[in-house]
Amino acid sequence: MKHISDFNRRIAEKITAAVSTMWCAYIFAAIALISLPAAIRTGDSLVIVAWVAQTFLQLVLLSIIMVGQQAQADSVAQKINETHEASLSEFELAKEARSIANQELAELKEITRDIHRVLRDIEGKK
């Protein structure tokens, strides 16, 4: 059953990739235009409106919408990647700042021990 699902997924991906191109929109427009003269010859405005709505718009806009959605998805993916890279950079800076702070804290503790030692020495000499 998994093989069938994988096959169906691969077919769907290939069809989606093919249909979501402007070239496919141009081909669909050309196909739709083949029936335009027959719709116009009827002289019936209902037939012409139906041709525009059902034949041309649905056929051509399908591909154009898919192209637009892919462009938007690519834009979102780029923003996500940029945000991820910026977050990683900030994280690295925070790690570096923490490391520096830990070094400074260790130095301050050493200075504090030295000060306490000096104070004990001074108090012992009194």
The pLDDT tens digits along the chain (126 residues) read 889 999 999 999 999 999 999 999 999 999 999 999 999 999 999 999 999 998 889 889 989 999 999 999 999 999 999 999 999 999 999 999 999 999 999 999 999 999 999 998 888 876
- From the centroid of its chain, how far is CA 50? 37
Q: Residue 61 domain-assigned?
A: yes
What tens digit of pLDDT does each residue of 92-113 get?
Answer: 999 999 999 999 999 999 999 9
* d(C-alpha 25, C-alpha 35), whole Å: 16
Task: Report the pLDDT value the prediction gives residue 123, as an integer from 0 to 100.
Answer: 84
Q: Residue 113 domain-assigned?
A: no
Task: Report the pLDDT value the prediction gives residue 98, as an integer from 0 to 100.
Answer: 97
Q: How many domains does the chain have?
A: 1
H/E stretch holding 43: none
Q: Residue 125 domain-assigned?
A: no
Task: Report the pLDDT value the prediction gives residue 1, as an integer from 0 to 100.
Answer: 86
Structure tokens at 79: 């923003």
Q: Residue 66 domain-assigned?
A: yes
Q: Residue 119 domain-assigned?
A: no
Task: Report the pLDDT value the prediction gives residue 35, as an integer from 0 to 100.
Answer: 92
Task: Report the pLDDT value the prediction gives residue 126, as an integer from 0 to 100.
Answer: 64
Task: Report the pLDDT value the prediction gives residue 92, as an integer from 0 to 100.
Answer: 96
Q: Which domain holds residue 53?
A: 2-89
Question: pTM of whole model > 0.75?
Answer: no
Please count the other Cβ atoms lying within 10 Å of the Cβ belonging to residue 66. Answer: 18
Q: Residue 15 domain-assigned?
A: yes
Task: Report the pLDDT value the prediction gives residue 14, as an integer from 0 to 100.
Answer: 93
Q: Residue 118 domain-assigned?
A: no
Q: Residue 97 domain-assigned?
A: no
